[in-house]
Amino acid sequence: MLKIRSPLLSGVLLFALVNGMALFLKDYFVRHLESDAFVWQTKLEKGDFRKVPLLALGDSQIMAALRGPAGGGFYNMGLPSAQATSLIAILERSQAKTVIINVSPYMFFKSPVTATHERLRIQQLQPFLHTLALRTPPQMMAEAVYFLPLMKARPSVQHCFLRSRCSAYRERAMFNAQTLFLLEQNQGQWVWQSTGEDCQTLPQPSQPLLLRADLQKGALDDWQKLSHLAREKNSKVFLVKIPFSPTFMELGGQALSSSLDETLRAAPFSGFFAEGVLSPPEGLLQAEHFRDLTHVNSCGAKIYSDWLWKSLERR
C-alpha cells in the first residue's frame, strides 16, 4: 500500500478530495447556506443582472425596498452587506443602460458589515468571477470552496452530517426554498429574512447603534472607480437614499445620516455622479412600513417603489 510521507502532499491531496466533493455536490449544499450567502450565490448564478436594461445595485436596503416598474426589463441585484468593490464587479458584467444604486452609511463607514461583505465576496463573488473566466478542471475545482467553510460555519450542517440531527438543516433548506421563490417572483427583490409577502414589523431593539461616522479606508476611491466604470459603459446612474426606520434614527441613525449627507455633498464624492442623490420626502414611510431597523417590509417597498418610479419619470 502506498504511504504518503510528505505533509505537504497529504494536504494537497486532502484539499483536492474535499474540493472535488464540493464541486459535484455544490448545488446540494447551496440549499443550507446562510441566508446572505444563499442570496449572493443565487443571484450571481442566475445571471439576470447581466441582460436587463434597468438594474438596481446596492445592499440589502435596496434589495428590500425596490420592486420593478410595470414595463419590466428590470432586475434588483441588491446584495446583503454589499460594498462598492462588489458593485464594480457586477456592473462590469452588466449591459444595463440605467442603474439605480442606493447609498447607505453601511457602505461608507466602518462597521461589522464590512467584514461580512469581505467573507461573502471571497466565498461567493470571487469563485463566480473565476468560473466565468476560467474553465479548466483544476481551476474549477479550486473555486469550489463551499464544503469546508460550510462545515465550519454552520452548526446545523455539522449536527446533521456528524450527529444525524437534521431538523435545523431541513429548516434552513425550507427557508432558502421560500427565499428562492420570492427572488424569482419579484425580479430579485426580497424583504430581508421574510418568508412571504407581508407587512410585518418585528420588535425593535432599544440599545444605541454601534456604528460611527468613521469613513472606511478606500471607500471614496471605490466609489470613484464605480462612477468611472458607469461612464465608460455609458450607463446612466441614479443614486438613491432609502429611509431607515424611525427607531433607527432615534438610536443614533440621525447623526449617521447627517454625516453621510455631508460626505455625499462634499468633494470629491460630489463630482462622481452627475444626477446627484434622490431622497424621498420626509414622512413617506412610517414605522409600520419597516420590518426591522434598516429594511422596509412589503408595504413599505410598494410605497417607496411607486414614489421612486414616478420621480424618475419626471427626470
User: Residue 145: is its pLDDT beyond 80?
Assistant: no
Give the confidence band of 170 by pLDDT, cuts at 50, 70, 90: confident
Q: For residues 266-300, b (16+ Cβ closer than 10 Å) or e, as one string? A: eeebeebbeeebbbbeeeebeeebbbbbbbbbbbb
Helical pair 112-120 and 35-46, crossing angle rounded to 10 deg: 50
Looking at per-residue pLDDT, the higher value among 209 and 190 belongs to 190
pLDDT over 90 at 15, yes or no: no
Average model confidence (pLDDT) for the chain? 84
pLDDT band, residue 253 (cuts 50/70/90): very high
pLDDT at 144: 47
pLDDT in the model for residue 130? 61
At residue 295, the 3 state secondary structure works out as: coil
122: nearest Cα among 148, 159, 98 = 148
What stretches of the chain adopt beta strand conformation (E)? 54-57, 74-76, 98-102, 236-240, 277-278
Q: What CA–CA distance (Å, rounded) separates 57 from 175?
A: 24
pLDDT given for residue 149 in this prediction: 47
Q: Report pLDDT digits (tens) over 58-88.
A: 999 999 999 999 888 999 999 999 999 999 9
What is the residue whose three cell numbers read 460550510?
150
Using 50, 70 and 90 to split pLDDT, how confident is the model at 181? very high
Residue 161 pLDDT greater than 70, yes or no: no
What the chain holds in terms of domains, given with CATH numbers, is: 34-41+50-202+210-313 (3.40.50)
CA of residue 12 relative to chain centroid, distance: 33
How confident is the model over 138-153, as a mean pLDDT? 46
3-state secondary structure of 261: helix
User: What is the pLDDT, as a whole number, of residue 27?
Assistant: 53
Q: CB neighbours of 182 closer than 8 A, spacing ≥ 6?
A: 189, 190, 194, 196, 197
> What's residue 66's pLDDT?
98
- Name the pLDDT band for 158 (thresholds 50, 70, 90): low
The tens digit of pLDDT for each residue in 81-131 reads 999 999 999 999 999 999 999 999 999 999 989 888 888 887 778 777 765
* pLDDT higher at 23 or 258: 258
